[in-house]
Structure 1
Amino acid sequence: MVPDAKPQTFGDLEPSRWPGERLGLPESGPGSVARVGRRIGGLLIDWASAMLLALLFTPYESVAYTWVTPIVFGVLQVIFIPTLGGSIGHRAVGLRVVPLTGGWIGVWRPVVRTALLVFVVPALVWDSDQRGFHDKIAGSVLVRS
């Protein structure tokens, strides 16, 4: 490879200096990639909200409660991401979900993102930009507000 040449393949990519650099996002402040602490805080708020709302439909001790909670969680995500720019938990900790292409997030991205997120595993697999598999597939990124 020529010393000053730009990388041409994925394996030739240089490591980024901060999460989101390759996406054109700032290192810190508004618009920077959300870090782990805020992500976990937002997720805990969202899951607690889903658990409380699920209690309106099913008793806590029932088997149905274990199924209703993730459904409520998913519905809340799909409703609030396109309308508020993030879930209640995201907004409470100062985050928002944006498409990589810019503009409005739309409806299909939150649906895809949430469907994958409910399976949990995609959220545990991150790239160097700290984007989970669910965000990569949906073409979105969780950033600071």
Structure 2
Amino acid sequence: MARMTGSWLSGPSAALPKGEDGTVERYRGELLGLPESGPGSLVTAARRVGAFMVDWLMGGGVALLILGGDFYSGMLGTVILGVWFVVGVATVTLFSFTPGQFVLGLHVARIDGPVPVGFVRALARQVLLVFVVPALITDLDGRGMHDRATGTALVRSR
């Protein structure tokens, strides 16, 4: 009788794709082939938020320069978002990190090999980040939906 009910009472591991046995990784990033700590390891949510805040504040400063210091402009938020978006796409494409990620010692890496992120992945990643929610929904490794969708991971660079 246990065999008949096992297919629907087995729990979440029964829904795994073929070949995956549901083993739990010892540390975040193990299944991706990343080290447990040090350069190349996955970063924590706190460091992600810190890098985002540095980027957003930098975007705010540039936006105020563009608007001539008009703090009360109705366009301030839109200009900050635009600056943040353009800087994010350009710097991740060229250097694999944003200014905030550089300050905190992080960079964006592709998980399929040691190759540059590229324009298309950087653009797709930034478009998904605009909506915020994909970054808040994470998998077991702590990678956001935007990283999973683009095949990237935010890792430590030092």
TM-score, with structure 2 as normaliser: 0.83
Where does the alignment leave 5 or more consecutive residues of structure 2 unmatched? 1-5, 7-13
Q: 1:62 to 1:8 in 2, by over 3 A?
A: closer
CA distance in 1, matches of 2:63, 2:79: 6
Where does the alignment leave 5 or more consecutive residues of structure 1 unmatched? 2-6
Letter of the 1:137 counterpart: A
CA deviation vs aligned residue, 1:53-112 (integer Å, no higher than 9, x gap): 111222221111111111110101001112122000001100000111121111111100
Alignment identity in percent? Answer: 39
Kindly name which structure, 1 or 2, has the bigger radius of gyration based on alpha carbons: 2
**Counterpart among 82, 94, 113 of residue 83 in structure 1:** 94
Matched, 1:133 2:140: no
RMSD across aligned positions (CA):
1.9
* 2:132 corresponding residue in structure 1: 120
Instruction: Say which SS state the counterpart of residue 98 (structure 1) adopts.
Output: strand
**Counterpart among 53, 59, 63 of residue 50 in structure 1:** 59
Instruction: Say which SS state the counterpart of residue 63 (structure 1) adopts.
Output: coil
CA distance in 2, matches of 1:62, 1:15: 51
Matched, 1:32 2:44: no
Measure how far apart 1:142 and its partner are. 0.3
**Between Structure 1 and Structure 2, how many residues are aligned?**
140
Instruction: Say which SS state the counterpart of residue 55 (structure 1) adopts.
Output: helix
